[in-house]
């Protein structure tokens, strides 16, 4: 048994037919004891979303722009 999926245009190179085994639901907790944190809602200042950052842990140059790892 297989399903034919309507995939987004940006993954046209992927074949759209999948076996039902590949389409099972994901487990809620893949790693025991690991809990996901809820994302905080942004504070809107002058119409722009802002978040309060406790600390910048790391940064890197990626695809012509900086990326930051924040806490």
pLDDT at 27: 67
In a domain, 53, yes or no: yes
- Residue 61, domain extent: 2-25+37-70
pLDDT at 52: 85
- The domain tally of the chain equals 1
Q: Which residues of 12-47 are buried (b: 16+ CB within 10 A; e: fewer)?
A: eeeeeeeeeeeeeeeeeeeeeeeeeeeeeeeeeeee
pLDDT at 34: 66
In a domain, 31, yes or no: no
Q: Using one digit for the tens of pLDDT, what is the confidence trace for 25-60?
A: 776 666 666 666 667 788 888 989 888 888 999 999
In a domain, 6, yes or no: yes
pLDDT at 29: 65
Better-predicted residue by pLDDT, 15 or 38:
15
């Amino acid at each position: 048994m297989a399903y034919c999926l309507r995939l987004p245009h940006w993954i046209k190179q992927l074949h759209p037919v999948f076996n039902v085994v590949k389409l099972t639901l994901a487990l809620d907790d893949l790693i025991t004891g690991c809990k996901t944190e809820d994302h905080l809602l942004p504070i809107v200042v002058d119409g722009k979303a802002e978040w309060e950052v406790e600390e910048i842990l790391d940064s890197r140059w990626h695809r012509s722009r900086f990326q930051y790892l924040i806490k």
